[in-house]
Amino acid sequence: MGDSYYEYLLKQWIQGGKKDARLKDAWKRAMKEMMDTMVVTTSSGLQFVAELEGPRQRNRMDHLACFVAGMLMLGSRTLPRDEVDPRWEPFAAELTHTCYQMYVRMPTGLSPEYVAFNLQAARGQEMSVPGDAPHNLLRPEAAEALWYMWYYTGDPKYRQWGHEMFVPFLRHCKVKYGFSAITDVRKKPPPKRDSQESFWLGETLKYFYLLFSPRSTLNLEEFVLNTEAQPLRIL
């Protein structure tokens, strides 16, 4: 639940003209500890960021954690080359793929709030949806990851994945006056919650818009996006 802190270590360093090494170094330390202790791979090859409760590892990941992929790509492409961990970009790509799978494996094509992983399960059966997690609140983090991956790599598969993820929002969430969160992504049609969080407009739709727009729409040499996807000019 402290995700924005780690994001802002990097982004404050960038927005401030890359002058405050304390921020950059703190972010690098955090990313090293994450890569060393929290990255888990299932027997079939899916990678995700596990949760730690003291010494105990929980093999689950929130949709919220999908932002890590974009953060790692941003760091990899902005830090001095000799300070970049060669693990960052490959893991960012793998994590983005896992987040995409959180959508396409569900009957509705929409991700639940979080998934649990069975590390030894056969391919296609690694993810399960716990009883308190089947809802979708229109969150932005997976779309955010897709945009950063597409922005920095130009690989068209990220736009294709984005299209596959966006269409179910139109199919299952669009209502007369906006878009509604849904209570269970496993049910077709899914029951609606009659609520729309502000981040749907402020972030999720913005990241999809950027993903399907020309790369020049937002220049990350001139702007940094805060955790609510507002563009701030780099000093």
For the question of residue 33 being annotated catalytic, the response is: no
Contact 230, 210 (CB under 8 A): no
CA 137 → CA 97, 174, 182, 198, distances in Å? 20, 13, 7, 10
Cis ω for the linkage preceding 189 (within 30 of 0): yes
CA 56, 59, 64 angle in degrees (round to 5)?
110
Please pick, among 113, 126, 141, 203, the residue that the annotation labels catalytic: 113
Query: Do the annotations mark residue 227 as ligand-binding?
Result: yes
Exposure on the CB side of residue 81, measured as CA atoms within 13 A: 0
Q: How far apart are CA 223 and CA 221, in angstroms?
A: 6
Contact 3, 65 (CB under 8 A): yes
Tokens of 95: 């994590």
Catalytic residues: 113
Binding-site residue ranges for Ca(2+): 227
